[in-house]
């Protein structure tokens, strides 16, 4: 890897890199890129696009409780209510 490329990468990453670190990183990047190019050469045969059948794992939408079942209990335990609603401090 060229020093100019490392300088650009360091600038984009907002890292300050010493000249000593640049030399070490250049060698490491060359090693990594060499390894990646070896991996790209490996033939894996036919590509498998789908590992298995797709299925929806989400639950059906629905109400687990009857509507209004706990409304009275919630309103009775609320610190402040008005016309059947919880009353809270103004947000804005």
Which tens digit of pLDDT belongs to each residue from 11-37? 999 999 898 998 999 899 999 999 999
Please name the residue ranges forming H helices in 1-92. 3-13, 19-41, 71-77
Q: What is the dihedral of CA 81, 84, 88, 89, to 10 degrees?
A: -90
Residues 46-81 pLDDT 10s: 776 767 777 888 888 877 777 788 888 999 999 999
The sign of the dihedral angle between the CA atoms of 23, 27, 28, 34 is positive
What are the residue ranges spanned by the domains of the chain?
A: 18-42
Tokens of 26: 């250049």
């Amino acid at each position: 890897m060229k020093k100019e490329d490392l300088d650009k990468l360091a600038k984009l990453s907002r890292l300050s890199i010493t000249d000593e670190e640049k030399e070490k990183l250049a060698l490491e990047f060359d090693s990594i890129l060499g390894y990646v190019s070896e991996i790209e050469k490996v033939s894996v045969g036919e590509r498998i696009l789908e590992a298995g059948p797709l299925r929806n794992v989400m639950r059906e939408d629905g109400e687990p409780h009857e509507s209004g079942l706990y409304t009275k209990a919630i309103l009775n335990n609320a610190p402040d209510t008005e016309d059947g609603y919880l009353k809270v401090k103004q947000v804005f």
